[in-house]
Amino acid sequence: MTSEPLHYVGVDWASGAWIAVVYSDENDAPEAEVFDTIRDVWSEYGESCRRVVVDVPIGLCESVDADECTCREEDGEIFRACDSLARRAVGDRYRSVFTPPARESARLAAADEVDYSEVTEKNKELTGKGLTRQAAGIARGIVEVEQLLLNGGDSDKLVEGHPEVCFRAFNGEVLEHGKKTAPGVHERLSAMTNVEEYCDQHWRHLAESLGTKGGTVGLDDLLDALVLALTAFADDAEYKSLPSQPLTDPKGLPMQMVYRSEHRLVDQV
């Protein structure tokens, strides 16, 4: 009896769609797919995956007044430890790590026809700090992932990763250029060559295949999903997280960012 192939999946949420890059044990070259929902991704690969690494915050703050909230607090503001550690890890690229909304703010922002000013005011009320438009913009993705994990998903297999942290881990040092610049693309492609599963033709193959099923996917989104898929290969010795011993939020979801490296990127807070 032939066993089913094992899949290694990286997922980036961009412009309302889920961009998945998928490696498998039976095929050296990855494939790219575009899904409408994260539940569609999970339905396709949840049972057969080693890991699905997604660029969406998992595990959220509640409020400064909530006794059960396990977020860190400083100067009247609460925040996830993993976000602070990620900013330290990526150095000058720290602006790429924005603070996610509190749970109630995320659900408000994910609703139809809600004004940004209302969302950021609610987040300030809950956490002591307003919300960037970028953070508000991914609220629907955050809520989708959370609902999946609270209703049949597996938080050991579906995990949060930040692409810039993953690129930093593969690169061995802090990246100098933004991901939308030509030098930045070169840096990130070069970083992935340090991983044994990656071949320099993979991104070309993926870009070509998206021409027929995801023509609007940006190169930066594709490379983000690709580095997350390569991170999904991490064995026990390489599989690490920020922080190394994450706390869980009141819903039982881990507040962490995973990456792949033989060495820890930063000391703990």
In this structure, is residue 218 part of a structural domain?
Answer: yes
pLDDT of residue 213: 67
Quick check: is 130 in a domain? no
Query: Does position 269 have pLDDT exceeding 60, yes or no?
Result: no
Task: Give the chain's domain count.
Answer: 1
Q: What is the pLDDT of residue 2?
A: 46
Per-residue pLDDT, 210: 87
pLDDT at 184: 96
With cut-offs at 50, 70 and 90, classify the pLDDT of residue 69: confident
Mind listing the pLDDT tens digit for each residue in 4-19?
789 999 999 987 899 9
pLDDT of residue 1: 41
Looking at every residue in the chain, the average pLDDT score rounds to 93
Q: What is the pLDDT of residues 203-243, one digit of tens each?
A: 999 999 888 765 688 999 999 999 999 999 999 999 999 99
Tell me if the pTM is above 0.85: yes
The answer to the question of residue 208 being in a domain is: yes
Render pLDDT for 147-182 as a digit per residue (tens, 0 to 9). 999 999 999 999 999 999 999 999 999 999 999 999
At 268 the pLDDT is 61
What pLDDT does residue 212 have? Answer: 73
When pLDDT is averaged across residues 57-76 and rounded to a whole number, the result is 90
Which range (30-34, 69-73, 212-216, 242-246) has the least confidence?
A: 212-216
* pLDDT at residue 113 is higher than 90: no
What is the domain range of residue 153?
A: 1-65+83-94+142-269
- Assigned domain for 47 exists: yes
Whether residue 244 lies inside any domain: the answer is yes
Whether 121 is covered by a domain: the verdict is no
Residue 266: its pLDDT value, please? 87
The residue-averaged pLDDT of 120-137 equals 94
Residues 54-58: what's their mean pLDDT?
97
Task: Report percent pLDDT > 90 for the chain.
Answer: 82
Q: Is 57 a domain residue?
A: yes
In a domain, 44, yes or no: yes
Give one DSSP letter per residue of the chain, joined into a string.
Answer: -PPPPPEEEEEEEETTEEEEEEEETTEEEEEEEEESSHHHHHHHHTTTEEEEEESS--S----TT-TT--SEEETTEEE-HHHHHHHHHHGGGGGGSPPPPPHHHHHHHHSTT--HHHHHHHHHHHHSS---HHHHHTHHHHHHHHHHHHTT--TTTEEE--HHHHHHHHHSS---S-TTSHHHHHHHHHHHTTSTT--TTHHHHHHHHHHHH-TT--HHHHHHHHHHHHHTT--TTTEEEESSS--B-TTS-B--EEEE-SS-SS---
